[in-house]
Amino acid sequence: MGRLKQMEQVKLGWNLVRWVLAAVSVYAVFVQANYLIAKGGFQLGPFLSFFTIQANLFTVIVLVIEAAGGFGISETWRTGLRGAAVLYLGITGLVYAVLLSQLPMVKEIVHPFADGVHHLLMPLWILFDWVAFAPSNRPTYRQSLSWLVYPLAYLFFSLVRGGITGWYPYPFLNPNQPGRWLAVSIVSVVILLIACAMIWAILRLVPRNQLKQ
């Protein structure tokens, strides 16, 4: 009985941290928006078109659902949402670190606080959250491939919208130079392959006896 009460207290404390991290992430979104407003470069549509913003807001929703007890959503669905959040923020952190973090243009428009929260703190936290409270109904590899639907849809939407408006959220998605379509294709395929590897790694972090075959 004592151990059960202790576990309940741990879960309560963990959910409190989830609430705090969700609030910090939302606050960082407003910090970044205000930073761009001060620089005269804020537009709501493009701002909400960044994968970083979308992935972090998605993760906020996931954290709130978990911290609030699930809102009646089945554990299977919640597990899928949690795994997807780990993947999306993993992509966010990795792509930013490898392709964007050292670009002068990016350093100029990204607020340091929002940078740290959205590209480092949240990706690490959601991964730690997944490991610390591993789901009891781990998805199959086939089921988890559905997590790729959003990144693929995002890529398609970004290219179509960019072709119409001339604006692309990230420089590596901009094909408007000779030979750039090949570069965009290569980068997109590499990111997709890395995402597949991430899914494998995310599932491997769940204890083997919790695998659903």
Confidence of residue 210 (pLDDT cuts 50, 70, 90): very low
pLDDT at 184: 94
* Model confidence at 213: pLDDT above 80: no
**Could you please report the per-residue DSSP string of 141-175?**
HHHHGGGGHHHHHHHHHHHHHHHHHS--SSGGG--
pLDDT at 188: 95
For residue 105, how far is the Cα from the chain centroid? 22
Predicted TM-score (pTM) of this structure: 0.92
Could you report the per-residue pLDDT of 4-40, keeping only the tens digit for each?
A: 777 788 889 999 999 999 999 999 999 999 999 999 9
